[in-house]
Amino acid sequence: MSSNTLDRSLVLDAVRVTEAAAIASWTMLGRGDEMAADQAAVDAMRNALNELNIDGEIVIGEGERDEAPMLYIGEKVGTGKGPRIDIALDPLEGTTLAAKAQPNALTVMAWAPKGTLLNAPDTYMDKIACGPGLPPGVIDLDRTPAENVKALAEAKGVPATEITVCVLDRPRHAEIIAGLRSVGARVHLITDGDVAGVINTTDPSTGIDLYLGSGGAPEGVLACAALKCVGGQFQGRLLFRSADERARAARWGVTDLDKKYDLHEIVRDEAIFAATGVTRGGLVDGVVFRDGCVHTHTLVMNSSTGTVREVRMKRKV
């Protein structure tokens, strides 16, 4: 299928879907119930998708069919009458953040022509990412954290002490953090939300130069869709915690379980990416109910046109 199917109507459709999920999950904001917040987002996102004139298939979703009753991998969504597309989604990126009413909870979705998104299993992925305008190969998963900082600093013409690296605050990253600090890099720790962490490397106003560490493989695919739209570099390698996870990956067509993927192997054609804020964060503002209206803030990108739009919606309720 041609990437010409990713037209303007699909951009607006993506916004409607993530807006619906964000508003629904906001109703459970701060109530301490992660599952309820996620379920509200899932229900709203699925309903919104099924109203669209698309022939969509979930390739990154809530899990396999026996694990998730809705938005499972392989589920067909839409009316079936429109373009054939792969869909990657996270109805609530940062369920803990939403349950605690903390910043940076998002609803996220990406789509691309059928058969062009990596069908990543629900496991971990080693990730490294940086923004656009840098020499190809400036970062590499097979280098040490210190080596990557030095290479990035040299490419940017700054000392290593001026490089800021975003890392998920997890015990497994202690060695990475030590390596970064050994060359004087600043480490920006986040509790959740590594999709936004990767995207922030593309925006100079965030001060984030590099993203490094392991997180969910599905989130890696979503982040790559955003980078496909705005530029940047990404490498990822799947991490398996058990023989069952390796077998699952093989079932989904992953033949080289130790492969180091780059951005264009994860997203192999044009893509549309949308993220709506549930709570305020560095990427987008959160949902607000004020004066009888609901307000949302969405970031939507289209790689085929190179456009990035901020959409602010106000609707009476």
Point out the annotated binding site for substrate: 93-95, 124, 170-172, 192-194, 216
Q: What DSSP letter does each residue of 17-81 carry, written as one string? A: HHHHHHHHHHTTTTSS-HHHHHHHHHHHHHHHHHTSS-EEEEEESSS-TTT-SSS-TT-EES-SS
Instruction: Using alpha carbons, select from 309, 280, 307, 308 the residue that is nearest to residue 296.
Output: 280
Task: Detail the residues annotated as belonging to a binding site.
Answer: 38, 62, 90, 93-95, 124, 170-172, 192-194, 216, 219
Amino acid present at 254? V
CB contact at 8 A, 110 and 274: yes
Collapsed DSSP state (helix, strand, coil) of residue 226: helix
Task: Detail the residues annotated as belonging to a binding site for Mn(2+).
Answer: 38, 62, 90, 93, 219
Q: How many other C-beta atoms can be found within 10 angstroms of the C-beta atom of residue 79?
A: 13
d(CA 129, CA 272): 19
Pair of tokens at residue 248: 């699952």
d(CA 83, CA 54): 5
> Rg of the chain over CA atoms, in angstroms?
19
Which DSSP state fits 274?
Answer: E
CB contact at 8 A, 121 and 248: yes
Instruction: Using alpha carbons, select from 84, 160, 88 the residue that is nearest to residue 122.
Output: 88
Instruction: Using alpha carbons, select from 237, 234, 216 the residue that is nearest to residue 225.
Output: 234
d(CA 235, CA 216): 14
